[in-house]
């Protein structure tokens, strides 16, 4: 985001300790995914992009899983932007006593020299850095303000805490859905999306003052508003975009949130000059260069990259795939943790399993499976083959039905095929084995010994032709059939 929009001297506290009962799941709610990332990823990213120096994620339910995820996704993973590394920490809320109690656990972990805290929830994936930064700016704009918070207005606010204002229009309280007392209160259309900014000192006092006197018997973070008002302090409401504020509490909301996220991602790719057909699914983190085409029902996941001018045709599934410029991935090809270099052609129905590396201009065709195999530039394996643990030289040709027999039941072994070699159809190369440069393997050969450069390997029974045998055989079989039918009739 633009530097001018960045906030500074702010620590974010993201609440993610709840179980998420309404998900009815063994998995903690914030680890359920939207566009390929756990829900909690998005608020953390928003805080980092907004400029928060430190992000404290409050965890509790399923804390082992959350801790592991946060330390991988914002620490250990090779894909973490350098500027983010080490800035995300976790704090534990031991018992889930409510959002106010969770905020307290988070605040305890905030560095003593921090002055401003931005608190929001881990189950609101669509909000962006701009949305949270606006709330911090709301606080900074009013020196007498104790709290600044986002507010949204929509025709139906049911489920959310409502913003209660006095006759002068000042915010005086947030009241949870379950604590609303009348039809008029339930009709209030201004609601709390749950983004708050405040100074540490005020927050400490406010959180200490909370009492669980409400319908749910919980410590409500939202009660800091009433506390501020009771001290005669100002509460600033920052009107915010309701379209990005949906909290995810159940699987119907998860589906809606994901649809919105995927539409946002597709829209961004289209703006960047990518043709994305209806029904393609492009998850968060995928990079696509301009003039690439992503056809219907293609699925692009993880750290997949697609080069300019490449075409990912109908039904392809790419996971952490690196697809070069001008590559053609024909329909229904599956590429996982693999590289396909410029102008190569793959599919239809190819399966590139992890650590495959398809060279520039190489061809991999129907029903070819590769795993941990490097195909040199211009090499071809056009039909029905299994190439596992292989190194194939430039311009080699692998015939239909070839199998690299890489596994002896205990260990994997490597098959090497030299450049310009020709492997005849239906051959088995029993690894470890090396076929030399320019060598030729006759169709149907089982290769168990290395083949020198330029040699021909052929291993099959000599062919014999028996003149007239087929004709004689046919008349004998016909006579047998006639005799069998006649005897059946006479029995009947
Ligand atoms: C909360 C707000 C509500 C607001 C809504 C916006 C309160 C009391 N209510 O309600 O005003 O309209 O969000 O989406 O804050 N959590 C903890 N520890 C706990 C309880 C919750 O860490 O003890 C975390 C959850 O993991 C979740 C977040 O806080 O990520 C919000 O909790 P949730 O129960 O979903 O609150 P809502 O009922 O949606
Ligand atoms: Ca919620």
- Cα separation, 460 vs 463, whole angstroms: 9
**Cα of 99 from ligand 1 centre, angstroms:** 6
Instruction: Select which of 79, 269, 303, 383 is catalytic.
Output: 383
Domains in the chain: boundaries: 3-244, 251-457
Please give the backbone phi and psi of residue 405, each rounded to the nearest 5 degrees, phi first. Answer: -85, 90
Grouping H, G, I as helix, E, B as strand and the rest as coil, residue 96 is: coil
Fold adopted by 3-244: Spore Coat Polysaccharide Biosynthesis Protein SpsA; Chain A (3.90.550)
**Cα of 121 from ligand 1 centre, angstroms:** 7
Of the ligands numbered here, which is closest to the C-alpha atom of 120?
Answer: 1
Atom number, ligand 1, closest to the C-alpha of residue 216: 8
Q: Residue-wise over 434-448: b if at least 16 C-beta within 10 A, else e?
A: bbbebbbbbebbebe
Q: Residue-wise over 75-113: b if at least 16 C-beta within 10 A, else e?
A: eeeeebeeebeebbbbbebeeebbbbbbbbbbbebbeee
Ligand 1 contact via 121 beta carbon (within 6 Å): yes
pLDDT at res. 8: 84
Atom number, ligand 1, closest to the C-alpha of residue 16: 26
Residue 208 DSSP one-character state: H
pLDDT at res. 2: 46
Ligand 1 contact via 192 beta carbon (within 6 Å): yes
Rg (CA), the chain: 32
**Cα of 8 from ligand 2 centre, angstroms:** 27
- Cα separation, 380 vs 187, whole angstroms: 68
Ligand 1 contact via 58 beta carbon (within 6 Å): yes
Ligand 1 contact via 428 beta carbon (within 6 Å): no
pLDDT at res. 43: 98
CA terminus-to-terminus distance, the chain: 90
Ligand 1 contact via 15 beta carbon (within 6 Å): yes
Q: Is 94 a catalytic residue?
A: no
The residue written with tokens 């592991």 in the block is 68
**Cα of 70 from ligand 2 centre, angstroms:** 20
Domain spanning 251-457, CATH class: mainly beta
- Cα separation, 88 vs 46, whole angstroms: 12
Query: CA 262 → CA 126, 193, 198, 265, distances in Å?
Result: 10, 21, 33, 5
- Cα separation, 43 vs 385, whole angstroms: 46
pTM: predicted TM-score of the whole model, two decimal places: 0.93
Ligand 1 contact via 16 beta carbon (within 6 Å): yes
DSSP codes joined into one string, 314-373: TT-EEES-EE-TT-EE-TT-EEES-EE-TT-EE-SS-EE-TT-EEPTT-EEEEEEEEES-
Of the ligands numbered here, which is closest to the C-alpha atom of 29?
Answer: 1
Atom number, ligand 1, closest to the C-alpha of residue 159: 12
Atom number, ligand 1, closest to the C-alpha of residue 194: 6
In contact, 203 and 117? CB cutoff 8 Å: yes
- Cα separation, 37 vs 461, whole angstroms: 57
**Cα of 86 from ligand 1 centre, angstroms:** 26
**Cα of 247 from ligand 2 centre, angstroms:** 5
Of the ligands numbered here, which is closest to the C-alpha atom of 15?
Answer: 1
Mutation pick for ligand 1 pocket among 93, 99, 161 (CB with most ligand atoms within 8 Å): 99
Ligand 1 contact via 123 beta carbon (within 6 Å): yes
pLDDT at res. 5: 61
Mean pLDDT by 10 residues, the chain (492 residues): 68 96 96 98 98 97 97 94 95 97 97 92 97 96 95 96 97 97 97 98 97 96 98 97 96 98 98 98 98 98 98 98 98 98 98 98 98 98 98 98 97 98 98 98 97 96 95 97 92 78
Ligand 1 contact via 18 beta carbon (within 6 Å): yes
In contact, 9 and 116? CB cutoff 8 Å: yes
Structure tokens at 475: 């008349």
Sequence-distant (6+) residues with CB within 8 A of 146 are 198, 199, 202, 206, 228, 231, 233, 234, 235
In contact, 166 and 89? CB cutoff 8 Å: no
């Amino acid at each position: 985001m633009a530097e001018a929009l960045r906030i500074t001297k702010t620590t974010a506290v993201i609440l993610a300790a709840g179980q998420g009962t309404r998900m009815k799941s063994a998995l903690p709610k914030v680890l359920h995914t939207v566009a390929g990332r756990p829900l909690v990823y998005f608020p953390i990213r928003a805080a980092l992009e907004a400029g928060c120096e430190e992000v404290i994620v409050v965890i509790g339910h399923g804390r082992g899983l959350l801790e592991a995820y946060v330390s991988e996704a914002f620490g250990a993973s090779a894909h973490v932007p350098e500027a983010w590394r080490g800035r995300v920490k976790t704090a534990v809320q031991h018992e889930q006593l409510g959002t106010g109690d969770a905020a307290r656990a988070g605040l305890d972990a905030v560095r003593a020299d921090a002055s401003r805290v931005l608190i929001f929830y881990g189950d609101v994936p669509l909000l962006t850095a701009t949305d949270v930064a606006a709330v911090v700016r709301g606080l900074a704009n009013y020196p007498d303000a104790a709290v600044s918070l986002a507010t949204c207005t929509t025709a139906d606010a049911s489920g959310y805490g409502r913003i209660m204002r006095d006759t002068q229009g000042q915010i005086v309280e947030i009241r949870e859905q379950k604590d609303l007392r009348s039809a008029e209160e339930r009709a209030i259309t201004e609601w709390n999306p749950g983004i708050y900014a405040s100074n540490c000192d005020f927050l400490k006092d406010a959180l200490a003052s909370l009492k669980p006197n409400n319908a749910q018997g919980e410590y409500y973070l939202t009660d800091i508003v009433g506390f501020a008002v009771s001290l005669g302090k100002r509460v600033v409401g920052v009107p915010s975009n309701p379209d990005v504020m949906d909290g995810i509490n159940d699987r119907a909301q998860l589906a809606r949130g994901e649809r919105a996220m995927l539409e946002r991602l597709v829209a961004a790719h289209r703006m960047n000059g990518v043709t994305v057909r209806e029904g393609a699914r492009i998850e968060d983190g995928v990079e696509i260069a301009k003039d690439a085409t992503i056809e219907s029902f293609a699925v692009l996941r993880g750290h997949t990259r697609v080069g300019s001018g490449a075409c990912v045709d109908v039904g392809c599934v790419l996971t952490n795939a690196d697809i070069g410029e001008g590559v053609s991935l024909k329909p229904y090809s599956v590429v996982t943790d693999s590289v396909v270099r410029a102008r190569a052609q793959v599919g239809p129905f190819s399966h590139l399993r992890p650590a495959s590396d398809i060279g520039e201009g190489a061809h991999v065709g129907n029903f070819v499976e590769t795993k941990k195999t490097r195909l040199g530039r211009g090499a071809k394996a056009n039909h029905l083959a299994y190439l596992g643990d292989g190194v194939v030289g430039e311009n080699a040709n692998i015939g239909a039905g070839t199998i690299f027999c890489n596994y002896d039941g205990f260990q994997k072994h490597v098959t090497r095929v030299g450049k310009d070699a020709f492997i005849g159809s239906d051959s088995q190369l029993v690894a470890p084995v090396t076929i030399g440069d320019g060598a030729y393997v006759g169709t149907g050969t089982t290769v168990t010994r290395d083949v020198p450069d330029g040699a021909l390997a052929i291993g099959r029974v000599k062919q014999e032709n028996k003149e007239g045998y087929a004709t004689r055989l046919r008349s004998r079989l016909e006579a047998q059939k006639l005799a069998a039918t006649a005897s059946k009739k006479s029995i009947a």
